[in-house]
Chains A and B, each alone.
Chain A
Amino acid sequence: MTTVPLRYRVPWKKIVVYVLAVLFALYLVLPFYWIVAMSFMPEADAVSVPPQWIPEHPTLANYLGFVDPSDAQALVGSRAIEETPYSLLNSLVVAASTALLNLVLATFAAYSFSRIRFRGSQLLLVLYLITRMVPGIAIIIPFYLLMREFHLLDTYLALILSYTTFALPITIWILKDFFRSVPRELEDAARVDRCGWFRTMWSVFLPVAAPGLVAAAVFSFMTAWNEFMFALFLTSTRAAKTIPVVAANFATDFNTQYTVMAAAGVLAVLPPLLLALVFQRKLVAGMAAGSVKG
């Protein structure tokens, strides 16, 4: 009566976990799979009913069309198609420059928070955080007017400057946490060797802090690459249009073929996606550190 008989127990918990895991995996992947599949289909297959879940006549035509539009595509005359390669290059230049500029500015600031006790440091950190909360729409009008004044509309510089201000506060927050984990003894040793501050930073401190720098650079690159609203206001031609703007042009153009739009979408998502997968651990740690610390 007092002993509980040993019996086989259905592992309900395991079953629930696996079922949920599979459902979530499908939820996360299927929509993306659909545009990837479409991007390899001829238009006729993409609009077929029922849908072809696996392309029956796989083709690269949608991607090749960006470099060398076919007669049909040229006839439809979507400007977005010919602008796609330029916009990818623009996005790359803008995002990389943003990441670099951010890193330089944020390294100085973050170092001060990790190594120096100074008056108002908490307030300054909060102020940085508050600027991150400011909605882009609140500054876009004056920013547009300002850039027009300086004849910077439709240039890389306008975009790089605006994205740097978006990404700078979060970059500082990420870096200050990473920098604190760098042992002070390293710098002390360098100082004993009579290295100046810049020498110490360059050859001792920064190499050790490299993982944090990479994470911060990836964050700001992705911020710049994905941004849309400022690019919509500030750019108008292939000279500076970024890929989100061109991708949106596909969506608002009634002549657009879904397959070509899908191909542009896939190209636009590839760089941030690859970065996210390669730097997964660091990004996850950075995202968590930016908002919770347990």
Chain B
Amino acid sequence: MIYSDIALDAILVAVLIDLFLLKTEMLTRGIFWISYALILPFQLLTNWWLTSRNIVMYSAADIIGRRVAGAPMEDLLFGFSMILMTLALWDYFKKFTSR
């Protein structure tokens, strides 16, 4: 599997965990989308820094080839899935540890 496939799967897994496994329902909450909107510009900035200086490089055969702020667009899928997964787990464990 190439990066594009795995990144899409990562989104699917994060969505399933958020909505059905932990039932944190981040995707339905305004606070999640505002958090994402604040983090996204910083992701683009750091992505640009890491890729424009060739600190991180990608195998051309494993990406679709469309780039956003220097990085493969797959990075945005990866970023979204990790932010969703992080906040879903956080919301769950915050309640879990305060019991």
Do these two chains really belong together in a complex?
Answer: no
